[in-house]
Amino acid sequence: MEAHVAKSPKEEVKTINVRVVTTSGTYPENGHEKVPLTEPIQGILSRAAADLGVVDTSRWVVTVKGSATPISPTTTYEQAGLHGEVKLDWGPESAAGG
Amino acid sequence: MHPQLCAARFDKDLAGITPELCELRGWTVFCKEYPLFDVGFTSPKGAQLRLQVKADDWDATPASFTLLKWDGTFMTAAPASKKNIFNSSNHRYTGRIFICIRGTREYHTHESHVGEKWELLRGKPEYRLGELVTQIWNGWRKANP
């Protein structure tokens, strides 16, 4: 006999509060966006780029406070070890010196 | 360009330099009034660099970037960087060490790069003032944790 264990929606979807900070502005403009922990970081970066009017972010890197190590946008918040409330610092990587 | 138009573009480019961004990045703004943007970087372990950006005639002419010690005096030795963005030789026009990446006045007037026209970069997202400073900060902070 199969056992069915009902899960409430609150148990199924774990979320994180995210804010993207750039020198072109912040997304969302106020507060945070609540997104699933299992969503790739790229999702909110795409929404931020569209909202802030940044057309080319191919050389942009995302970090969090206190770390210079970029986080891959294809990872999820869970995979990146992020939880609770986080500000993503997003901006262009340095070009190579001439 | 007309100074008022230059000042408006300067203010627009730097509108995102908010207290929130500065707190997140460890930046200290000493001056943000056209044509000067003077900002210091402090790393989590306490390394510091100060950068003075002079953006007169922005953005018809690329901005000039000067490396300073925290007390505002000129740096005489290039700080460490992961991508060799700081040139330790004396620039032919300023006579000082300089930042040698596309988008800086010192790059486009350096004898090795005079053929690379600012007009081709002007207005692109990576070459607005805030984004140029971000590039320099990113190049500096990896070698200065």
- Please write the tens of the pLDDT for every residue from B26-82: 999 999 999 999 999 999 999 999 999 999 999 999 999 999 999 999 999 999 988
Cis peptide before B71 (omega within 30 of 0): no
Contact B106, B64 (CB under 8 A): yes
Write out the residues of chain A at the interface with chain B, using a CB-CB cutoff of 8 A.
21-26, 54-57, 59, 61, 65-66, 68, 87, 89, 91-98
Instruction: Name the residue in chain B with its Cα closest to that of A29.
Output: B16
Q: Please state whether B20 falls in left (phi above 0), alpha (psi between -120 and 50) or beta.
A: alpha
Question: How far is A78 from A25, CA to CA, in rounded Å?
Answer: 25
> Do B102 and A94 make contact, defined as CB atoms within 8 angstroms?
no
Interface probe with B: pick from A21, A23, A55, A56, most Cβ of B within 10 Å? A23
Residue in A61, A65, A96 nearest the CB of B83: A96
* ipTM value for the complex: 0.91
Q: Please state whether A35 falls in left (phi above 0), alpha (psi between -120 and 50) or beta.
A: beta
**The whole model's pTM is what?**
0.92
Contact A93, B81 (CB under 8 A): no
**Set of chain B residues whose Cβ sits within 8 Å of the Cβ of A65:** 24-25
Contact B51, B73 (CB under 8 A): no
**Separation in Å, CA of B3 to nearest CA in chain A:** 22
B84: which 2 tokens? 């060799």
**Set of chain A residues whose Cβ sits within 8 Å of the Cβ of B128:** 23-24
Percentage above 90 pLDDT, chain A: 79
> Do A94 and B136 make contact, defined as CB atoms within 8 angstroms?
yes
Q: Please state whether B98 falls in left (phi above 0), alpha (psi between -120 and 50) or beta.
A: beta
Instruction: Name the residue in chain B with its Cα closest to that of A87.
Output: B24
In the Cβ-directed half-sphere of A51, how many Cα atoms lie within 13 Å? 16
**Separation in Å, CA of A89 to nearest CA in chain B:** 8
Contact B116, A95 (CB under 8 A): no
The topology (CATH level 3) of B3-143 is: Ubiquitin Conjugating Enzyme (3.10.110)
> Do A24 and B128 make contact, defined as CB atoms within 8 angstroms?
yes
pLDDT in tens, B71-119: 999 999 999 988 889 998 988 889 999 999 999 999 999 888 888 899 9
If you ran DSSP here, which 8-state letter would residue A6 be given?
-
Strands B48-54 and A85-92, bridge-based pairing: unpaired
* Chains A, B: CB pairs < 8 Å: 95
pLDDT in tens, A48-80: 999 999 988 999 999 999 999 999 999 999 999
In the Cβ-directed half-sphere of A93, how many Cα atoms lie within 13 Å? 16
